[in-house]
A and B are shown apart, each in its own frame.
Chain A
Amino acid sequence: MFQHCFRITCSVAILLLLAVWQPAPAQTIAPQNVSLNGEVLDDYGRPVKGATILIKGTATKIATTEDGKFSIDASLYATLVISHPMFDVQEIKVKNSDALQIRLTDRYLHSITGIDTSVINNPAQQKFYLLYENKSPDKLISAVSTIYGNQLSTTPASLYAYALPGRVPGLNVNQARGFYNAQTSALTDVDFFVGNIPKNNSGSGPNDNTEFNIQLRGHAGSSGQEPISIVDGVQREIYSLDPESIESVSILKDALSTILLGQNSSRGALLVTTKIPQAGAPHLSFTAETGTQSSLGLPTPLPAYKYAYLLNEALLNDGRTAAYTSNDFNAYRDGTDPINHPDVNWYDKVISRNPLLTRYNLNVNGGGATARYIVSLSYLDQAGFYKTDDKNSYNTNNQLKRYLINSKIDVDVNKNFNIALQLFGRLQQGNQPGAGSSAILGTLLSTPNNAYAVFNPDGSYGGNANYRTNLLSMVQNSGYLTDNTKDVMANLDLKYKFDNWVPGLWLKAKGNVSVQSSSLISRSKQSPVYNMIVSPAGDTSYTNFGPTINQGNSFTSTSWARYVFAQLSAGYDKKIGDHNFGAMLLYDKKTTLLNYDIPSALTNYAGKLTYDYKGKYMAEGAVNYSGYDRYKPGHQFGLFYAGGLGWNIAEEGFIKDNAGWISQLKLRATYGRTGNANIDRYGYYVYRSYFTDVAGTYGIGTTYQNSIGLAEGGSPPNQVLANVNATWEKADKLDIGLDIAVFNNHLQLNADYYHEKYFDVLQTRGKSIQLIGQGYPAENIGINRYTGAELNITYQNNYKNFNYFITANASLQSSGIVYMDEQFQQYEWNRQTGHPVGQRFGLQTDGFIQTGAEAATTATITGYALHVGDYKYKDLNSDGVINQFDVAPLGKERPIIYYGLNAGFSFKGFAVSALLQGVQNRELYINNGYTEGGFQPQNNGFSQAYEQALGRWIPESAAIATYPRLTAGTNGYNYGPLLYSNAALLHNGNYFRLKNINVEYNLPYKLIRSLKLSGIKVFVNALNLFTWSAYDLVDPEVQLPNYPVQKVINFGINIKI
């Protein structure tokens, strides 16, 4: 199982060996010395402090001052090596004594460690952003991975989440659809004067991420355990931030790093920090880019004559009469009768080839010593893939337009008092055809090529009794829907240091209010379709089908949310000799108001202590008394705690003295008890038994007036008993990690092992007997175990001005159901306990029934007579019947491996980077009747057939068949038998994608200077440029009929002033 992992490790090692080997520096003769002055600038032309200047071949090195200046005595023709952890290394030959102006380029992978403390006393070191604090990486003992803005901005997409897959170990980001999916109906039912029933039980409110399932360490969103999104210290589900405005995304994985979230701490967190104001003259960065999109993983429909032939075969297999004659086949083939024998490839008709994705971003940054600001503006315009009709004065295509503003002002009132104000605003407008994009995609998947002609000779839309809507009419002639989302978030941070009274004591306050509202305007319409009939006498007549619905104009408020977050914290940092102490007290409260729910409030009272000795031994502990008010009063608060220890062995004398090439060798371990308050997923105030109004119940009276009804425990048939004992889910999490940095930090390695026990997981009890007349609620029953290992290896170095890096990560994840109150299972293979969480169970297949004798003797589903060419299911309990007792785990239960490989280089303004992301040991279940189930009944006709069906079982190709014999309509056996899964639909889900590749060129600084600019960068990058998947008839991630995943090729320019 480690085979693949091992292969990656090997290849990384070989690359590293190649990289470490360098030709010996050439001997130089010491010529005369010159006294050099110079300044080091960043890509905005701002001074870089703390860069080291080394005279190559000597031990002479100095650091730049606060204003980026340096002066050094060097021999003529000596080489200066300028390095800084945030920038690529640059070598410059001293040619004369002229003042040097050295511009550094941003490093793709920020090196967090590796400040040369021998020349810099108080390094302005890059810090990890943790929850409500920053921490030097040397002292970090939690499991945290960080992605920097540079890594995000090369991905041409609508959400920063597109750039996450493959970047860090432990985080699995799976794409579910390729385009933003608008909320088109209200999140709540609005029925009567009382009795509005909240439908949104996610507990987190509206979410702009409709494209990705984000999982941390194997925890799925379907169980309410996906990581929490925190933007600038406040929990908000915002994934549409412009990558250009993001400083970093930290992924908090263990108990200690998230414990301050209290009842949300089990889930881990994505901690987004937007760019921070920097002092200096106003600097401006403008990026314009545009890309073309193309769809991946669209299925291949069969031409009409093949479809007709196969459908005849299916009907004959069913013992019915054939629907098509040889004349029909010929007409489909030669296209002589396009009206009555159409052959329309709907994918070509409806989908355009290369819709555009355009983004603009403007960042302004500057300020003085007392006040600094940053303003980031961005605009995104993503077009969908539907063809449009120029006759419409409005857009019918899918479209997403987004305007974002993020501004931050940072004011030092005096040296002890800092005020930071942030305003974030978002306007988003979506558009889609009036028939609805998902309805169109479903129809597209199911409509056969021969269903009807697109247009009749008289120009009307074609259709017939079976197909009462015309697909092209749905796309271009159904009006449009637009959705609007408005977002405002205001953030005020105050920090006061009591250094004048008690040095080290500080007080912080944070207040945040954000409001979001979404609405939908529907201007949809529907036109009838016409069937042209030519009578034997030659008269043409048209029959119309389907209703005429005039273009409407309706407005729906789809969601409204208000979040208020207030936090107060006080801390005290004290250094006594080599002992560093830190203490913090924290109170916060997050109030969420969704639509017209009663606001929910999550409150934390937390305390935290940190200690380290010389940066060698570290200890940290925190407790959090955290409560959520959707539980029964008196049972709302729980105690959560976490602690950790760290030991940096590299700081020990025996390493320092004997193995100085080791700069970091840190062992760390954390353990904690965390909580997950996801009760809102299971209902609204689940501990209360209640009654609720029900619409249109039973019309007593001769006029059948549909009166209001009343039901117990929810609206029928979703009535559920109250769960008076409901409480939060809990987890005991252990994380053991190792951080190594060697060879002057060129090679870094981070490894983690984790063991998490989730318990009190909300599940329905096994003995949920129907006699009670209501559904059983989710109760705190389940125990699941998640374990895994994560590895990240990075090597980065330079050969002269050639800077290069390679970073690889892999994570190995496994899980197991420890307890689930499973009902009694007669057979061992039916038991789910002990198997991985979410393990798919289904019937095992053993090829196809090949002979009539086999059909007569093989076990089958009650009431189904087997035919040759049917799947042969294994009768595990040998009772002669295929039923639920023959259901067993499907596929191999191996730990799943996620990996990513990111490599690149830069040289003289050129930079290239590439990201490969993949999954191993993955199983892919394709549960889609249209491509897998033969002919599905649809609109009274039969659905489209795809190339998969060509592999059907027929006697002539019995040995190589990949698909059961064809049947028309659902036969309840070969596809979705009795709603069980079927091993034949399970495929190898391994894949890897060339997720991102970026090539950029920074124009030479001299040229830029003459234009009075700080920098010009041109770039081309791509998303999903190449995909390899073990099963290649579908996309490995996005399942039909969801909007397909897009390949994007993007060009752009960045100008800095």
Chain B
Amino acid sequence: MMAKTINMKFLFYIPVGLISIVLLSLASCRKAYESTPLGQQIPEEIAFDPHDSAGTYAKRFLLTTYAEALQNNHNRVSSNYLDAASDDAVSSQPGIPDVQKIATGAYTATAANADNVWEKSYIAIRDATVFSVLINQVPLAEKLSNGLPARPAYRSEARFLRAYLYFELVKRYGGVPLLGDQIRQLPDDVQLPRNNFADCISYIVSECDNIKDSLRTEQSINSTTYGRITSGAAMALKARVLLYAASPLFNGGNIEAGNPLTGYTNADPGRWKIAADAAKAVMDRGTYKLMPNFPDIFITQAAPAAANTESIFWRQNGENTSVETSNGPVGYTTAGGAGITSPTQDLVDAFLTIDGKNIKDAGSAYDPNDPYKDRDPRLKSTVFYNGMLWINRPVETFDGGVDKPGGTLQQTKTSYYMRKFMGNFESVSGATIYSKTIHDFIYIRYAEILLNYAEASNEFSGPSAEILDAIRQIRKRAGINAGPDSTFGVPASLSQNELREVIHNERRIELAFEEHRFFDIRRWKTAETVYSRPLRGLNIQRTSSGQLSYNIVPVLTPVFRSPQMYLYPIPYGEVIKNPQMVQNPQW
């Protein structure tokens, strides 16, 4: 009896013991891990570490802010250039490409167009704000080359990016909500109203003014800081912003008179003066000058790290072949080329002759039966046309030519392909593929500053020697013949209106595919005229004997509803979710 009890007791301890082992092993498991993920996710006190004088994480955050803020505008809008939504080009894509819907007005507040940057911009604006606020808690020890602390420079870079983003919004939507320096979280109220157009402009301009002295100077940029925002960039942005603000769309031509959101409520010619002065200030810095060879601008890194003296503000893209393979003629099958961009005859016709004349001008060297002879050299640097040499053979864009073979292959609709931004592969003997080329996308270059100055100054006070000089500089660099009077086709006798036409055309051809034309025709309020004509392409027939005949063909009928389409609609969701958000007129 006694023995049995002991046995029982012993057996009782077995389960208890085993259970204890299970529980103990569990308890010991727990100690192996932290209770919140310290390694995989970085809390704010490490990201902006108040004890890290190197600011390792904080500087990484700024890099992401750059990446979020600066879009690669090469084939940005659903694989197309935004210019394919202007009168300069159409997309070669089959069906109805998204970029074409912008040109044909096939978008609404509810079905945003492919260039709707609203959400993207506000994401990057938040990044810039987070950095510019939290960097203050990082005791950055780094010094600039001039001995000043680097922290204000980094902080100003973020503020520059934010100002740039606001401007990208303002030029599309008019006045937008300015969020200030508050970092909002889940419980915070974000039902904010739009700020007036005038407030937005003065905010952006004041930001540019405030940061320009703490940013790095152009001269101080070296191979490791290449790509950072400089003082010159801030001043150049200011010049562009003021030019837009002075333009008819916002200054006197407000699409809804009296609406402070869509532009100034008054017209003030003095705004042109401020714009001209801002451009002049960039010119007077003396750090920028035109590159000698036009096509090299887009494939050369900027000074002083490299040779490009013209580039002021750009997006770092590095070396690749993406521009060539996306836009190159389709017949170069080994090299690759999707030929997505079809420049229009309208753009080609805008290019001058070699002596600086318009092709329709009396006495110009233009020959309709040999249309590419004796033309502005920028033409062959901007578009591919039939017969132009490229990788060991002439481009064939006549009907049935290897670069326009017919059938289902994606190919040019106009007999032209875009050439700009590509490497110099005109006469690469032997090579059959594209080699990697620098493809930084230049947002602001010195030629634009010259044109900004010329335009603003001409609008404010009419023709002047400085204006003529600015344009002649550009034409000279382009390779236009100086002519016997050394006017490069821009005589001093031009009236204000004639000079305006010259400047507008010069902007079109000099800055083609650089996202200028699309916005220029809007701020000039000429879009309703420009889009009222069908866009044209060329059909080239080749006879068996090799004779070419050229026929102009319509390729796209754009639609522009004026004044509605001068500004984009605010995305519908933003308006409906936020009672304070006012929609743009007629959307």
Chain A residues within CB distance 8 Å of chain B:
194-198, 311, 315, 318, 321, 323, 413-414, 416-417, 465-466, 492, 494, 496, 500, 507, 509, 511, 543, 545, 564, 566, 568, 589, 591, 596-599, 601, 629, 633, 684-685, 688-694, 697-704, 707-712, 716-717, 719, 721-725, 766-774, 776-777, 823-824, 861-864, 881, 883-885, 937, 940-942, 967-972, 978
| CB of B333 within 8 Å of the partner chain | yes
Minimum CB–CB distance for A976 against chain B, Å: 11
Contacts of B338 in A (CB 8 A): 940
Tell which of B47, B305, B316 touches A691, judged by Cβ atoms closer than 8 Å.
B47
Q: A770 to B574, Cβ gap below 8 A?
A: yes
A-B contact list, 8 entries, CB within 8 Å: A311-B408, A568-B22, A691-B61, A704-B319, A769-B190, A774-B123, A941-B409, A972-B96
Are A702 and B223 also in contact (CB < 8 A) when A967-B95, A968-B94 are? Answer: yes
Q: A716 to B64, Cβ gap below 8 A?
A: yes
B189-222 interface code vs A (CB 8 A; 1 in, 0 out): 0111000000000000000000000000000000
Minimum CB–CB distance for A10 against chain B, Å: 50
| CB of B36 within 8 Å of the partner chain | yes
Q: A708 to B60, Cβ gap below 8 A?
A: yes
Q: A710 to B108, Cβ gap below 8 A?
A: no
Q: A823 to B577, Cβ gap below 8 A?
A: yes
Minimum CB–CB distance for A865 against chain B, Å: 9
Q: Which of B152-206 contact A (CB under 8 A)?
A: 177, 179, 184-186, 188, 190-192
Complex: how many Å from CA A723 to CA B186?
Answer: 7
Interface of A is mostly: loop
Q: B185 to A722, Cβ gap below 8 A?
A: yes
Known contacts A196-B39, A863-B101; 14 further A-B pairs (Cβ under 8 A): A311-B408, A496-B12, A500-B8, A543-B334, A564-B26, A598-B33, A699-B227, A702-B223, A716-B123, A717-B123, A863-B106, A941-B408, A968-B95, A971-B95
Q: A770 to B122, Cβ gap below 8 A?
A: yes
Q: A688 to B43, Cβ gap below 8 A?
A: yes
Are A970 and B95 also in contact (CB < 8 A) when A598-B34, A685-B36, A884-B111 are? Answer: yes
Are A772 and B11 also in contact (CB < 8 A) when A194-B40, A545-B333, A697-B60 are? Answer: no
Contacts of A773 in B (CB 8 A): 122-127, 129, 179, 184
Minimum CB–CB distance for A140 against chain B, Å: 29
Name the residue of chain A whose CB is nearest to the CB of B320. A704
Contacts of B574 in A (CB 8 A): 769-771
Complex: how many Å from CA A545 to CA B335?
Answer: 10
Complex: how many Å from CA A710 to CA B67?
Answer: 11
Q: A323 to B127, Cβ gap below 8 A?
A: no
Contacts of B363 in A (CB 8 A): none
The 10 lowest CB-CB distance pairs between A and B, nearest first, are: A863-B106, A969-B95, A773-B126, A969-B94, A709-B64, A704-B318, A690-B41, A710-B60, A691-B47, A698-B66
Name the residue of chain A whose CB is nearest to the CB of B106. A863
Interface stretch, picked from B13-21, B251-259, B284-292, is: B13-21
Contacts of B108 in A (CB 8 A): 862, 881, 883
Minimum CB–CB distance for B288 against chain A, Å: 18
Complex: how many Å from CA A571 to CA B340?
Answer: 74
Contacts of B11 in A (CB 8 A): 413-414, 416-417, 496
Q: Which of B104-125 contact A (CB under 8 A)?
A: 104-108, 110-111, 118-120, 122-125
| CB of B407 within 8 Å of the partner chain | yes
Tell which of B15, B35, B70 touches A496, judged by Cβ atoms closer than 8 Å.
B15
Contacts of B225 in A (CB 8 A): 700-701
Complex: how many Å from CA A34 to CA B265?
Answer: 118
Q: B305 to A884, Cβ gap below 8 A?
A: no
Name the residue of chain A whose CB is nearest to the CB of B319. A704
Contacts of B531 in A (CB 8 A): none
Are A691 and B43 also in contact (CB < 8 A) when A543-B333, A708-B60 are? Answer: yes
Contacts of B105 in A (CB 8 A): 862-863
| CB of B23 within 8 Å of the partner chain | yes
Q: A719 to B123, Cβ gap below 8 A?
A: yes
Contacts of B126 in A (CB 8 A): 712, 772-774
Q: Which of B5-55 contact A (CB under 8 A)?
A: 8, 11-12, 14-15, 18-19, 22-23, 26, 29-30, 33-37, 39-44, 46-47
Complex: how many Å from CA A198 to CA B40?
Answer: 8
Are A699 and B318 also in contact (CB < 8 A) when A321-B406, A773-B122 are? Answer: yes
Contacts of A940 in B (CB 8 A): 338, 408-410
Q: A771 to B185, Cβ gap below 8 A?
A: no
Q: A465 to B409, Cβ gap below 8 A?
A: yes
Tell which of B39, B44, B61, B578 touches A689, judged by Cβ atoms closer than 8 Å.
B44
Contacts of A694 in B (CB 8 A): 60, 64, 67
Tell which of A697, A725, A942 touches B64, judged by Cβ atoms closer than 8 Å.
A697
| CB of B226 within 8 Å of the partner chain | yes
| CB of B494 within 8 Å of the partner chain | no
Contacts of B330 in A (CB 8 A): 465
Complex: how many Å from CA A776 to CA B187?
Answer: 11
Tell which of A414, A629, A722 touches B35, judged by Cβ atoms closer than 8 Å.
A629
Complex: how many Å from CA A719 to CA B44?
Answer: 15
Contacts of A824 in B (CB 8 A): 576-577
Q: B95 to A972, Cβ gap below 8 A?
A: yes
| CB of B306 within 8 Å of the partner chain | yes
Contacts of A566 in B (CB 8 A): 22-23, 26
Complex: how many Å from CA A769 to CA B127?
Answer: 16
Q: B18 to A494, Cβ gap below 8 A?
A: yes
Tell which of B334, B408, B576, B577 touches A968, judged by Cβ atoms closer than 8 Å.
B408
Q: B14 to A417, Cβ gap below 8 A?
A: yes
Are A768 and B408 also in contact (CB < 8 A) when A702-B306, A709-B67, A723-B186 are? Answer: no
Q: A691 to B41, Cβ gap below 8 A?
A: yes
B56-90 interface code vs A (CB 8 A; 1 in, 0 out): 01101101101110100000000000000000000
Q: A693 to B226, Cβ gap below 8 A?
A: no
Tell which of A568, A717, A771 touches B190, judged by Cβ atoms closer than 8 Å.
A771
Tell which of A633, A766, A970 touches B96, judged by Cβ atoms closer than 8 Å.
A970
Complex: how many Å from CA A598 to CA B41?
Answer: 11
Contacts of A698 in B (CB 8 A): 63-64, 66-67, 70, 227, 316
Complex: how many Å from CA A823 to CA B26?
Answer: 47
Complex: how many Å from CA A690 to CA B42?
Answer: 5
Contacts of A970 in B (CB 8 A): 95-96
| CB of B301 within 8 Å of the partner chain | yes
Complex: how many Å from CA A645 to CA B105?
Answer: 66
Minimum CB–CB distance for B553 against chain A, Å: 11
| CB of B369 within 8 Å of the partner chain | no
Are A716 and B68 also in contact (CB < 8 A) when A633-B35, A968-B94 are? Answer: yes
Complex: how many Å from CA A701 to CA B225?
Answer: 5
Contacts of A195 in B (CB 8 A): 40, 42
Contacts of B18 in A (CB 8 A): 492, 494, 509
| CB of B228 within 8 Å of the partner chain | yes
Minimum CB–CB distance for B6 against chain A, Å: 13
Contacts of A884 in B (CB 8 A): 110-111, 572
Contacts of A968 in B (CB 8 A): 94-95, 408
Name the residue of chain A whose CB is nearest to the CB of B68. A716
| CB of B437 within 8 Å of the partner chain | no
Minimum CB–CB distance for B574 against chain A, Å: 6
Are A591 and B408 also in contact (CB < 8 A) when A709-B60, A770-B118, A970-B95 are? Answer: no
Q: B106 to A864, Cβ gap below 8 A?
A: yes
Name the residue of chain B whose CB is nearest to the CB of A937. B94
